[in-house]
Homo-oligomer: A and B are copies of this chain.
């Protein structure tokens, strides 16, 4: 198990803000998922109100992605983005066997980093 830098973390956020917790079980096969996933990460980061993302998927295909936003309005606009809508359709039809999506208001946070 390697020790990585902190690039996987969403840093510097000041509560309150919003988190979208997306837990998902992939189906078998890529079916365009990897390319679209990269594009969605790139596109999300360009949206107003985007604060960051943390994401991990295990070898069994279960994953959790948490994206952070400054308002519910920003989340709603991202959900309605045309290219993201197309990805959502593919998610339902091709990529996921099951997902749970939760929109939550982060009220407090703390952190530890070894130095």
Chain A interface residues (CB < 8 Å from chain B): 1-4, 6, 8-11, 15, 19, 21, 23, 25-29, 54-64, 66, 91-92, 96-114
Residues in B whose Cβ lies below 8 Å from that of A101 = 109-111
Residues in B whose Cβ lies below 8 Å from that of A28 = 1-3
Of the residues B26, B54, B55, B112, contact of A92 by C-beta under 8 Å: B112
Residues in B whose Cβ lies below 8 Å from that of A113 = 97-98
Stoichiometry, as copies per complex, reads 2
Main secondary structure of the interface of A (DSSP, over half): strand
Q: Output the nearest chain B residue to A61 by Cβ-Cβ distance.
A: B1
CB–CB B23/A54 < 8 A: yes
Of the residues B6, B15, B62, contact of A56 by C-beta under 8 Å: B62
